[in-house]
Structure formats: structure tokens, C-alpha cells
Amino acid sequence: MQVKPELVLDAAGVIAANFSPQFWQELATRYELSNERLAQFKHDIRVKLWTGRITEEEFWNEICGHFPAIVKDEARKALFSQMKPLPAASLLPQWSQHANLHLLSNHRAEWLESIVAPLRPFLRSVTISSEVGCCKPDVPIYAIVEGHLECRTSVLFVDDQAKNFKEAESRGWSTLLADERGDWIDKVNQFLRIET
């Protein structure tokens, strides 16, 4: 039996829309908030949010505490309205015939669930930072994913941020930057030897 290669995919910017820039801009516009203060808040809460050190409810309480103009239910709806699958998500059934697929994402599991749920049958593993307590680009999250790999000699990691590649490359994984146009999809098909 031939061993399949391993395809490790980020979520935001790869199989799901990257909600972050639009969400924060929408908050700034809708509630007339300072972009600089929002950016500082986002920076300060990033690790706690992505690693699950705070709950989703605590995130909303903190943001509304820092910015009292924000209406929590409206802001939450705005965030979820931006959580949409990207075209690559529809390719996972086909890709799963040619590779073992893994999801590796800095995200909140509850925010990704609507996108991940229908894809789970095609994924060997799902590693979401809020569930495992660590996030990219830190070493432990890559070790978790590596524990799910059958073949460590043929691994392609796709992410929309090059800063997340250093640890993957140190483990011998090939890396591919997901561009907004989706040209990276052709390169995945080449890696998997899929005729398009």
C-alpha cells in the first residue's frame, strides 16, 4: 500500500475567509472607535484568545469593557457573518483521496465550527489553537500536528502568513504561502499530482 503525503492546511486565509481585518474595521466604523486603540487591544488579547486562556464570552466581555460603545450581540453577528468558506474548502474531498489532510489553525474552535464540521470526514486531524492551548508560530502546536502524521517525509504546509513557516521548515515540511487570488491551489494539485 502506497503511503499518502500529508497536507497541513491553515484555516483563515486558506479554507475560510480571514475575518480579522474586516471585523476590526467594521467595529471601528460602526462604533466610531480608534483604529489604533482597537489594534492595541487586538495585539494585547491575541495570545489569550487564540490559546483558549480566556473563553469566548470573556473575550466579548473584555472588548465591550474596553469599548463600551460596542453592542456585544451586534459585534458577534458581524464576526460570524464574515466566517465563510473559501473555494479551497470544496476541494478537500478530492484532496483527501490523494493525501492525509490536517487542519492547523490559530483560531477559536467555536468560530470555525460551521466551516470545519462538514469537512471533518475528510480531515485526519483538526488542531485549533483555542483547544490545544498553544498557537503558531510556537513549537508545541507543530509537535501536536506532527503526532498525527503517518508520513513525515512528504509534508506540505499551507498558510497565509510566512511567519508561521520557520518551525514547519525546521521539521522538514515543505511550505506554501496561500495568496488571496488562490493561485496556491494549483501548487497543491501539483504536489498531489492531480490533473486539472
Domain span at residue 137 reads 6-17+84-191
Q: Does 99 lie in the same domain as 53?
A: no
> Is 196 within a domain?
no
Q: Which cell is 106 given?
A: 490559530
In a shared domain, residues 104 and 180: yes
Assess whether 91 and 148 both reside in one domain.
Answer: yes
Q: What is the spatial distance between Cα 36 and Cα 56, in angstroms, rounded to a whole number?
A: 23
**Pairing outcome for strands 123-128 and 100-105:** parallel
CATH of the domain at 168: 3.40.50.1000
Q: Are 73 and 41 contained in the same domain?
A: yes
Same domain, 31 and 124: no
**Inter-residue contact 158 to 185 (CB < 8 Å):** no
Domain limit, last residue, from 81, 102, 130: 81
Indicate whether 173 belongs to any domain: yes
Residue 167 lies in a domain: yes
Among residues 81, 103, 130, which one ends one of the domains? 81
Q: Cell numbers at residue 142, please?
A: 507543530
Q: Are 185 and 105 within one domain?
A: yes
Is residue 1 in a domain?
no
Q: Give me the pLDDT at residue 21, please.
A: 87
**119 and 164 both lie in a single domain:** yes
Residue 34 covered by a domain: yes
Q: Are residues 122 and 142 in the same domain?
A: yes
Q: According to the 3-state scheme, what is the secondary structure of 124-185?
A: EEEEEHHHHCCCCCCHHHHHHHHCCCCCCCCEEEEECCHHHHHHHHHCCCEEEECCCCCCHH
Please check whether residues 119 and 149 belong to one and the same domain: yes
The pLDDT score that the predictor gives to residue 125 is 99
Q: Are residues 71 and 90 in the same domain?
A: no
Please report the pLDDT score of residue 1 as a whole number. Answer: 60
- Mean pLDDT per block of 10 residues along the chain (196 residues) reads 91 94 94 96 96 98 98 96 96 98 98 97 99 98 98 96 98 97 96 86
Structurally, how many domains does the chain consist of? 2
* pTM score of the predicted model: 0.95
- Predicted pLDDT at 66: 97
pLDDT on residue 136: 98
Residues 105 and 155 in one domain: yes
